[in-house]
Copies of this chain bind each other. A is one copy, B any other.
Amino acid sequence: MDEVDSAIVRHLQEDARQSNREIAEKIGIAPSTCLERTRLLRQRGVIRGYHAEVDLAALNRHVQALVSVQVRPLNRSVIDSFHQWVRHLPEVLTVFGTAGNDDFLVHVAVRDIDHLHAFLVDKLSDRRDIVSFRSSIIYRRDTNNVLDPL
């Protein structure tokens, strides 16, 4: 991870579909060098993938919420099974397994308030290992798509 690698990573975070030549020119290296570096970054797992960012409203997901969840008993089997279950629900964007008062924080995006309610009472409430949950509507969200090394 030298300066060249960092620059490649930065440019690919900004726009993953720009051409290899373009990135090479911006950095000031040969296109073949840039391509090889990029391949290694991908292979080493520094770059985990390339994804289109989609407008949630265009996917009929006008309401977002953060749902904090407590599960019991607190053992690996319960924690892992809840985590795997919740992360594959179609409403779920991100699952955080956390320390502190809550065991999980789940970021969901649904069609409207009614569907949020349905998600909570029909899906979450059905699980016996969930002790309690509390949800907060999200008014606004901003994500830093390009992160530099610290």
Minimal Cβ-Cβ distance residue in B for A141: B96
Contact B53 A96 (CB under 8 A): no
- Candidates B50, B61, B93, B97; contact of A150 at CB < 8 Å: B61
Given contacts A1-B58, A16-B16, A16-B17, contact A49 B142 (CB under 8 A): no
Does any Cβ of B come within 8 Å of A35's Cβ? Answer: no
| Contact across chains for A47 and B51 when beta carbons are under 8 A apart | no
A1-55 contacts to B, CB under 8 A, are: 1, 9, 12-17, 44-55
A50:B47 contact, CB within 8 angstroms:
no
Least distance between A59 CB and chain B CB atoms (Å): 5
- Other-chain contact of A144, B12, B93, B146 (Cβ < 8 Å): B93
A67-111: contact bitstring with B at CB < 8 Å (1 yes, 0 no)?
Answer: 000000000000000010001101111111111111001010111
> How many angstroms between the C-alpha atoms of A110 and B150 in the bound complex?
7
The chain B residue with its CB closest to the CB of A146 is B51
Within 107-150 of A, Cβ neighbours of B (below 8 Å) are at 107, 109-111, 115, 134-150
Q: Which of chain B's residues has its CB closest to A147's CB?
A: B59
Q: Are B144 and A94 in contact (CB under 8 A)?
A: yes
Contact A50 B96, CB 8 Å, known A66-B105, A87-B142, A111-B150? no
Report the minimal beta-carbon distance from A111 to chain B, rounded to whole angstroms.
5
* Chain B nearest CB, measured from A73 CB (Å): 17
A-B CB contact pairs (8 Å), 5 listed: A15-B50, A90-B150, A93-B147, A95-B141, A100-B134
